[in-house]
Amino acid sequence: MSISKNALTVLERRYLAKDDNGKLIEGPEDMFRRVAKNIASAEASYGKSKKDIKKIENEFYNLMADLDFLPNSPTLMNAGRDIQQLSACFVLPVGDSMESIFDALKNAALIHKSGGGTGFSFTRLRPKNDPVMSTSGVSSGPISFMKVFNAATEAIKQGGTRRGANMGILRVDHPDIQEFIKCKEDLSVLTNFNISVAITDKFMKALKKGEEYDLINPKDGKKCGKASAKEIYDDISSMAWKTGDPGMVFIDRINKFNPTPHVGEVESTNPCGEQPLLPYESCNLGSINLSHMIKDDEVDWDKLRKVIHTSVRFLDDVIDMNKYPLPEIDEMTKNNRKIGLGIMGWADMLIQMDIPYESTQAYKFAKKLMKFVQDEGWSASEKLAEERGTFPSFKGSIFENDRKVRNATITTIAPTGTISMIADCSSGIEPIYSIAYVKTVMDDDALHYVHPFFKQKCEERGIYTDELEEAIVKLGTTASLPGFPSDLKSLFKTAHEISAEGHVQMQAAFQKHTDNAVSKTVNLNTSATKDDIANVYNLAFETGCKGITVYRDGCRGTQVLESGSSASKSKTDTAIHQTTLADIGIDSNGKLRPRPRPLMIHGATHRMKTGCGYLYVTVNEDNNKLFELFARMGKTGGCAASQTEAIGRLISLALRAGIDSSNIIEQLKGIRCPERALGKDKIYSCPDAIGKAIEGHLKNKGQIIQEMTKLDSGVRPECPECGGPIAFIEGCLICQNCGFSKC
């Protein structure tokens, strides 16, 4: 078994079993054997002999150990262990009563504790200020309850390995739709929610005609007003431009393809949007590594077929071995037996076949390949139905008069953030995010990681040199490399070099032959406009997508302060705080010494809201120059309080020695800790709060700090666990170094 060093790091951090002291008690082979043995034991329920079960166990083991297929993270983490909760996706109903709302909250907590993510539609909740007859009061509306769900999620760790993630959905015809669209404008709230607007066909028709559409009160289903489709659409596009939320799910299209309409209507999806589910339904997912399905630069269709059939059997067995957090979920999941077989390594496959990601050839090939996966997946399900029978809700399903199958759905293209790191391949159907990056390890050693296929393709042409490696590590892309072959530039386009249309066309190509939906992010450059995002949404609808997520680079970052000067600016506006040698005490040996402190000094105290509580930062001045700083937590004691005191002492020493305040601000701003960012100015940590307090102090005096080279634009926020690069991929923030995920 070949496991890369980076994959091993991810496995050790998140997947491999540990004892009570946190010491590893299994290796990768042990993990795959644990999972294979546990899942294969389901075969006993269908009359398989011990010999046959052992054979199937070995097939499952080889499938995973060869990294040809990997199940979703909860299966790898929990199969064969006490938790035994194997699904990643759940949807819970939220009804219009306190009992239903808080039942959903309790159930979500149980799911998060077991390692799953939850999706909710809040559409059934009556709008804000609607009368509540039982109390003679008025409703607080869906958004207020979403905040309650968010706070509960914040307090729960998923099995000690993943933090809870939620999807919040509201229909576009709900009276509170405008408040919902803007509910994440302040990035410090609803931090554990992705949100999407459930778009109806009626809304899209009204938009096309430039008309208004009806708003519906869910309490009684009656019309209660109208809204301009264009205004709502513009609001959605504007907020997505600003924050990345909301996305869109085309709810009528999703229900058009609902395989069991007699069981219920789809209201919501899982957190990343690729799995529409009925209330109380769950789905287990797994992905095939396409980078391993190539032989002599062509697809090895025979190998792919075999992997598909074994994977479908594996996922169907997971349904029986799963320990569901609620009896309602157990019943609903086993009645429909939905599975979600997907793919990863798509970009790697295209590179191996010399097919540019953004090309008609790639879109055609995507349809061909996914049709093969879908057709062979259903063939495998038909064989399982012959062995085991159809799924219990089969009668009344869309298959009743067509064919007998074991599962209500077969294919889903799900996020593969961490499992693709284990498999050492590209994520899902996303393009490569960067050709190279630098990883900092112990003792600040910098290791260069260059995409192996890039190196291979360049070596085949005799153009790979140390100079090229240095340039590609620095840039991460070939776009600005002079003289680099144009065909290789096209082949190695990164996510931000792919046009918005190219992203959507690829998603639509795969959606055509995917039973459920497709997780994909349309990554846009920071220069993208609101109209660009509106066009992306429209193209997604027109090309048959079931949902769409857009992320404009830097949309969640702080605004960069302007530096330099121009004729239109006053001298005060462009003043830059600087120090001179006259401000610095220098002893006879030429060494810096801090200036002595006078008996009396003036300053101001700034209250900063951090994830650890209120931080009070006092900035004092000497002759109009910053002299010292004190930082104290609102609550006494603890590491946070002692560390902020130490930071204050060191800053004071630096200021008194004449260090320019802009250098100090640069070092502090942007430092992140695992606590969520708070406030309109996004306080990422206590050091970040101190840096911003100094900056605010100077701005109040009419001074603007000149930004240094490291600008905190939010384009590449650091991972809170390892400090590595985080990217917004497949609808979620994922660390490309250690596998940390917000979902």
Residues with a known catalytic role: 270, 272, 274
End-to-end CA distance of the chain: give it in Å, rounded: 29
Rounded Cα distance between 117 and 284, Å, is: 12
Question: Count of CB atoms within 10 A of residue 95's CB?
Answer: 14
Rounded Cα distance between 126 and 141, Å, is: 6
Query: Pairing relation of β-strands 193-199 and 247-250?
Result: parallel
* Measured CA angle at 533 (ends 527, 535), to 5 deg: 125
Rounded Cα distance between 163 and 191, Å, is: 11
| The token pair that represents 590 in the structure block | 């030429």
Rounded Cα distance between 218 and 267, Å, is: 13
Handedness of CA 301, 303, 308, 309 (dihedral sign): positive
Q: Which residues sit opposite 162 in a β-bridge?
A: 158
Q: Is 369 helix (H, G, I), strand (E, B) or coil?
A: helix
Residue whose pair of structure tokens reads 């002079």 in the numeric block: 482
Compute φ and ψ for 486, nearest 5 degrees: -65, -35
Asked if residue 119 lies in contact with residue 277, where contact means CB atoms within 8 angstroms, the answer is yes
| Sequence-ordered strand ranges (E) for 159-317 | 162-163, 166-171, 193-199, 212-217, 222-228, 247-250, 268-269, 276-277, 282-289, 294-295, 298-299
Residues in the chain: 743
Rounded Cα distance between 172 and 200, Å, is: 7
Residue whose pair of structure tokens reads 């008309």 in the numeric block: 211
Element (H, E) at 403: none
Question: Count of CB atoms within 10 A of residue 606's CB?
Answer: 19
Nearest to 46 by CA among 311, 285, 286, 319: 319
